[in-house]
Structure 1
């Protein structure tokens, strides 16, 4: 079984268990649904893909409502768009992060948090120009320390 197929199977089984809990099904009722909709299965792990889909569809017909729909936005916030005057510095910081072994944007967020303490915004893109320049300087020092060309 491929990793993708295994991940999908595990996600389906988790949805079935969430539906069971949300509907408040007794063990006997749950096993009856598995047996009738899942071609005699006694456990959600015994279900094939079609059986899992039939069980989920049946549970939705009797009242299960998933919390999020497929394709719904994730809980993780997107990176904010910087102000127009800060955009060049943000692009420079991102280029510096790429030159430092493709560090994520969260690395710059951590630098901002360390430099500014509790006053630091959640995302480095929200810092004022002076603070963005400080972050860029700190990344420049890191680039020199690692021997990475800094683009000058």
Structure 2
């Protein structure tokens, strides 16, 4: 089983157990529901179709999954209007460099400006954004990436 499939399976099993708790199901009711929906005695025995069937049944019974309280990735800040063209240019340069993530530019800012660098490159001053763009331009030339 691939890591992605295992992660989806574990997420589905977690939702099933949260639903059991949210609906205040007794253990006997839970086991009976597993047997009628998936013909299994334990949720770990469910295949993909069985997990879908159980989750659909639990949602029909009133289970509403709560949205995640924490995200794995912080959202990127919105740059100021005067910095927007430079931020777009930096993102275009990152795309030309084999689709590097925005965190790559954050790392360049941290390396260039040390502890004075903000957490996100979008928060840099216009002069600092120019320097980041120049550094990415040098990297584009070195790798032979298309620079427009």
TM-score scaled by structure 1? 0.68
Secondary structure of 1:85's counterpart equals: coil
Which of the residues 117, 127, 131 maps onto 2:128? 131
Could you tell which deviates more after superposition, 50-59 or 77-86?
50-59
How many residues align? The count is: 141
Name the CA distance, whole Å, in 2 between partners of 1:41 and 1:58: 19
Across the aligned residues of Structure 1 and Structure 2, the Cα RMSD in angstroms comes to: 3.6
Give matches, 1:24-103, under 5 Å.
27-28=27-28, 30-35=30-35, 38=37, 40-44=39-43, 45-46=45-46, 47=50, 49-58=52-61, 60=63, 66-68=65-67, 76-103=73-100
Q: Normalised by the size of structure 2, how large is the TM-score?
A: 0.69
Q: Structure 2 regions of 5+ residues with no counterpart?
A: none
Per the TM alignment, residue 85 of structure 1 is displaced from its structure 2 partner at its CA by 1.5
